[in-house]
Amino acid sequence: MIAFICVLGFISGCLAAPCTHTNSAEHTEEQVIARVIALADHNNDGILSVTDLAAYFVINFDHNHNSEVDKNEFILQWHETFHDEKAFAEHVFTHFDTNADNVLNLSDLFALNIRLDTDGNGTVTNKELESYLQLIYNAC
């Protein structure tokens, strides 16, 4: 399995940025992913709008209330909420920060929403978010 992931290294970042998923509360990847989805899908309707993503990832992660989430804010909050180690939280941040300016804000979430909508039907389901998060965890 690891060899398979590394074959995809150019896509997954396996060769470029090797890291491991270590969780201080010993939560599995599946448990963390389920928790992310439960928290992000605010009204629990199985659909993740940009508003849902912003309501969770910006409002809860923005510690200094400047309407965006810098890398340190994201790493601290992800680590605190999901107990993934900080190096792994940074790995997640680099996927969410679509324009790679080290800040997560609405423009990233709009781009992320399009990226998450893999069947292109205009809405993002919990299942689509789950698949994307699994890719991030597998790319680690």
Please give the Cα distance from 32 to 93 (Å, whole number): 15
When binding is defined by CB under 5 A, the residue of 119, 127, 131, 134 that contacts Ca ion is 119
Question: What is the rounded distance in angstroms from the CA atom of residue 101 to the CA atom of residue 5?
Answer: 27
Residue 117: strand, helix, or coil? coil
Instruction: Name residue 88's beta-bridge partners.
Output: none
User: Is residue 41 near Ca ion by the rule CB under 5 A?
Assistant: no
The residue range among 29-37, 50-58, 89-97, 129-137 that interacts with Ca ion, by the rule CB under 5 A, is 89-97
Is 43 a residue that touches Ca ion (CB under 5 A)?
no
Return d(Cα 110, Cα 79) in angstroms, integer. 24
62 touching Ca ion, by CB under 5 A: yes
- Kindly list the residues in this chain that would bind Ca ion in the complex (CB under 5 A): 62, 64, 66, 97, 99, 101, 103, 108, 117, 119, 121
